[in-house]
Amino acid sequence: MFTGIVTDVGEVIAVHARADNLGRLKIACHYDRAGIADGASIACSGVCLTVVAAGVENDRTWFSVDAAAETLAVTTAGAWRHGTRLNLERALKVGDELGGHIVAGHVDGIAELVGRDDLDHTARLTFRAPVQLLRFIAAKGSVALDGVSLTVNAVEGDRFAVLIIPHTLNVTTFGALRAGDSVNLEVDLMARYTARLIGKA
């Protein structure tokens, strides 16, 4: 479980295809190596992945994760290459501050950035969402985009907009997002469960 509050930006430094339909990714980060155990969960641009190895190389911590064929197919992970920058978040511990909203790290679909308006130190980003997920996205509600907890400012048709504050632009990959880029979208768990309870999911 995560909160959507990014704690580091990592970089893919190796991608290996495996015969068992897994993709092994090696990701460099700024986390303390001593704090990364095999089996730990780390959200990588919103995708919850399990650490299978870790170490230190050139004074920088790295960890490796395996991405299943399904993950590669339904998230942006299939397009990650050497040099791809990823928003990282360690799993929530009991007693940690819940600064964003409850995020599972289970991506629901891919949203496309269709518009970017750079304002004074902020940016308004407009995304196109998959049709089947639109009922879970509401103005003033929460979404996780590439693992970042955000508040929806407006919804119109198949598009929704979020406002990115200066801090978020500086500490996530959002500063570099441009129209046409894809991001991992996870809808609010409360919205999903509410729809299920009333028989609309």
Q: Which of the residues 7, 40, 41, 104 is marked catalytic?
A: 41
Strand boundaries in 30-130, DSSP class E = 41-44, 47-57, 60-68, 85-90, 109-118, 123-128
Clarify whether 68 is annotated catalytic: yes
Residue partners of 24: CB distance under 8 A and separation at least 6: 14, 15, 16, 18, 52, 64, 65, 66, 67
Nearest to 175 by CA among 107, 110, 116, 100: 116
Please, are residues 163 and 123 in contact by the beta-carbon 8 Å criterion?
A: yes
Clarify whether 106 is annotated catalytic: yes
CA–CA gap between residue 152 and residue 167 (Å, rounded): 17
Q: Which of the residues 16, 17, 151, 154 is marked catalytic?
A: 151
Burial class of residue 34, CB neighbours in 10 A (0-12, 13-18, 19+):
exposed
Please, are residues 114 and 43 in contact by the beta-carbon 8 Å criterion?
A: no
CA–CA gap between residue 15 and residue 111 (Å, rounded): 23
Q: Which of the residues 106, 138, 161, 195 is marked catalytic?
A: 106
What is the gyration radius of the CA atoms in the chain, in angstroms? 17
Please, are residues 50 and 65 in contact by the beta-carbon 8 Å criterion?
A: yes
Q: Which of the residues 2, 63, 127, 136 is marked catalytic?
A: 2
Clarify whether 151 is annotated catalytic: yes
Clarify whether 41 is annotated catalytic: yes
Q: Which of the residues 44, 48, 67, 129 is marked catalytic?
A: 48
Q: Which of the residues 14, 17, 53, 68 is marked catalytic?
A: 68
The catalytic residues are 2, 41, 48, 50, 68, 106, 151
